[in-house]
Amino acid sequence: MRIAAITLVLLLLLFAGWRHWRVWSIPDVGDPYDIDAFLAGYEHDRTSMDVFRETLPEVKRIKQQLAGVGEHTLFNVRWDEALPEVRDLVGTHRDLIDKWVAALELPPGVEGDPQSANYDENLPVSFSSQIVVGLMVLDANRLIEEGDLPGARKIYSQIVEVCQHLEHGPATSQSLADSAYVMMSMSLAWYMGQAEVDVDELYDIRTFLAEYDQQKVPLSTTLKFAYLRDRDRLEKELAISSMSRWLFNESEMARRIQQMIYANLLSEADRPESEQSPVWAHECVSLDQPEFVLWLRRQLGQTLPNDNNRYCRFTLFRDGPYREDVDEGIHQLIVSHHWLTLPGSPWRLRFTERNSYYEGVRRVNELQIGLHLYHREYGKFPDSLKDLPKEYAQLVTAGEGNASGMSFTNTEYGYQLGDGFFVWRVYEPGEDPVPPTSEAVTEK
């Protein structure tokens, strides 16, 4: 019995020693970027985020005022269709809008502590932006009805600046910035349907939207914020004592693998799409991102296993010095492998611009502009998107064919663009439209 016990202990020590050697054989790349230098870029005496934060009590009062009718009554409605109490909000809270607009002169800040594991769960400013932008969109709709198109255009410019300031932070803030853009784009669709909007103005709108797209926070910034959050999450998980974790040096392995994953993602993030390698997903670290996995299935033409077994067909890395180490390391983790998740929400993890709700709406905007350019030249909309010349919608047609999976039909509610899930209105010049609330309605 004693010999068996001693043999078991020796075998356990031998295995633990091998595990420690295996851990130390994984390259220690350290933090994948200079964290202090990155955060120093947001250290200012006063930022726009400080001003936005100071307005939270007023936003809270607006929410209380909307409690009886619902916050949805604020969003994407024509001025003359809005409830009287909703219209009153624009006038009584004009100072709130002015404060947010004035804050755009300050450098952007970051909401909360970006190095907290719960960073993306406590973002009152980002969520309050939906109320403020909703007021701004409603005000733009008022100006359109009053014939003040330059005034409405000015508000659109202010809204995209708000979006740009909100993007500095976690994926949640960035998705809310995209949501604000979508609200603005719905009003913009009505704006383009005004008979006074000529061809030059339509091209100017195209340039305006393209410039905003080019100025969006790069994916590398998104990943850097995500790394700070996930690093803290991992450390909190590893702080829970575990004999197996201590014995097999799992904590050090988890840190090294997490750093290597982010280092690799950052090396690819800001390359032009034509130069990026495919993002291969390791099953153990990506199955909690279903939309991302669906994209992979489309890109690779293969099927990922549906269960979380230890057999994985794909790896996060191209052939390179770290591939084997990461594969082996992830499979050897006992508890913490599920913390090594791909960062960010699916629509912000954009190694392709085709897996993004924002990008989808941008394509819709491009089609709307192209359809209006066609109407200004021929006096009518084309019968289908196949009849739309490429030069009218270059963003959509390049490499994808004119239709790009979209349909264009004339219904009892007016002209509509659809992708099988959502519909967007295209207002005929001079049309007295139904309220923009019919936009983005899920088709049954």
Helix (H) or strand (E) holding 407: strand 407-411
Q: Which domain range does residue 308 map to? A: 2-29+229-339
In a domain, 88, yes or no: yes
Shared-domain flag, residues 316 and 386: no
State which of 339, 374, 391 marks the end of a domain.
339
Q: CA 134 to CA 166: how far, in whole Å?
A: 15
Question: Is residue 315's pLDDT more than 90?
Answer: no
Shared-domain flag, residues 316 and 427: no
Shared-domain flag, residues 58 and 202: yes
In a domain, 301, yes or no: yes
* pLDDT of res. 245: 63
Shared-domain flag, residues 328 and 392: no
Which among 26-30, 159-163, 233-237 has the top mean pLDDT?
A: 159-163
**Strand order, beta sheet including 414-418:** 407-411, 414-418, 423-426
In a domain, 40, yes or no: yes
State which of 307, 339, 371 marks the end of a domain.
339
Which pairing describes strands 407-411 and 423-426: parallel, antiparallel, or unpaired?
A: unpaired
* CA distances, 10 to each of 3, 7, 19, 339 (Å): 10, 5, 14, 31
* pLDDT of res. 288: 38
pLDDT: which is higher, 419 or 395:
419
Which pLDDT band holds residue 143 (cuts at 50, 70, 90)?
A: very high
* pLDDT of res. 181: 92
Helix (H) or strand (E) holding 368: helix 357-378
Which pLDDT band holds residue 5 (cuts at 50, 70, 90)?
A: confident
What would the two tokens of residue 50 be? 């400080």
pLDDT digits (tens, 9 = 90+) for 337-360: 333 444 333 333 443 333 457 777
In a domain, 294, yes or no: yes
Shared-domain flag, residues 14 and 43: no
In a domain, 223, yes or no: no
State which of 339, 374, 401 marks the end of a domain.
339
Which pLDDT band holds residue 247 (cuts at 50, 70, 90)?
A: low
How many domains is the chain partitioned into structurally?
3
In a domain, 155, yes or no: yes
Shared-domain flag, residues 63 and 152: yes
Shared-domain flag, residues 137 and 265: no
Shared-domain flag, residues 57 and 150: yes
In a domain, 254, yes or no: yes
In sequence order, what are the residues at sequence separation of 6 or more whose Cβ sits closer than 8 angstroms to the Cβ of residue 191? 140, 144, 149, 152, 153, 156, 197
In a domain, 152, yes or no: yes
Shared-domain flag, residues 202 and 249: no
Shared-domain flag, residues 96 and 177: yes
Shared-domain flag, residues 116 and 78: yes
Shared-domain flag, residues 212 and 233: no
Helix, strand, coil percentages in the chain from 3-state DSSP, rounded to 5: 60, 5, 35
Statement: the pTM of the whole predicted model exceeds 0.75: yes
